């Protein structure tokens, strides 16, 4: 669902509602959503795989102050636990395709990428189609509640990550002055 100025979650919930109302066929809707999501996330992975490292090693990477040490740390993190970000990233606005780019740039094997990205897509699609189907005529109200709480949870998560980065920065700076 790339290119439409509507969040994917809204389209999935609305599609679930259309299945509920009999205007769409459930299995076809699910398959179309899965294929679209899989194509999009795979394109992001391939972009990361093909141009990610060359871009980071270019002038662009130097402008962003990305060093080989930074790249190696991200690779290590991604190979340790980052693949789970592919699964969970579907639920965090703006993160889904970023995690696939990082997976590609980190040279994560395609099988590992596919296992986590596509299973994440299955769960994510099922969740939002179910919301639209289950709540029927009330799909808009429920989606607004879910979206509001998702934004709050995302903001809290981002704040915690920034706090963690700030604490590490301060500790390293203190350790360097000793």
- Is the confidence at residue 5, as pLDDT, over 60? no
Note the pLDDT of residue 3. Answer: 55
Residue-by-residue DSSP string for 153-164? HHHHHHHHHHHH
How many other CB atoms sit within 10 Å of the CB of residue 150?
Answer: 15
- Is the confidence at residue 1, as pLDDT, over 60? no
- Is the confidence at residue 4, as pLDDT, over 70? no
Note the pLDDT of residue 113. Answer: 94
Token pair for residue 67?
A: 């060093």
Say which residue, 134 or 27, is predicted with more confidence: 27
Return d(Cα 118, Cα 138) in angstroms, integer: 29
Mean pLDDT, range 140-146, rounded to an integer? 76
Say which residue, 51 or 94, is predicted with more confidence: 51
Domain spans of the chain? 8-140
Backbone angles phi, psi at 22, to 5 degrees: 85, 5
Mean pLDDT, range 46-52, rounded to an integer? 92
């Amino acid at each position: 669902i790339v290119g439409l100025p509507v969040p994917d979650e809204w389209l999935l919930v609305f599609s679930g509602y259309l299945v509920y109302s009999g205007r769409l066929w459930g299995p076809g809707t699910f398959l179309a959503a899965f294929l679209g999501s899989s194509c999009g996330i795979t394109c992001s992975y391939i972009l990361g795989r093909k141009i990610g490292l060359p871009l980071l090693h270019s002038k662009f990477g130097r402008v962003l102050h990305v060093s080989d040490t930074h790249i190696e740390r991200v690779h290590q993190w991604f190979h340790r636990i980052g693949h789970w970000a592919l699964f969970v990233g579907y639920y965090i606005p703006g993160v889904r395709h970023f995690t696939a780019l990082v997976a590609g740039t980190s040279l994560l094997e395609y099988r590992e990428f596919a296992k986590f990205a596509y299973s994440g897509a299955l769960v994510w699609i099922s969740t939002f189609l179910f919301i639209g189907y289950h709540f029927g005529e009330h799909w808009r109200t429920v989606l607004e509640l879910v979206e509001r709480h998702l934004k709050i949870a995302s903001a809290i998560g981002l704040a915690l990550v920034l706090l963690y980065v700030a604490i590490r920065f301060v500790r390293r700076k203190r350790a360097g002055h000793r």
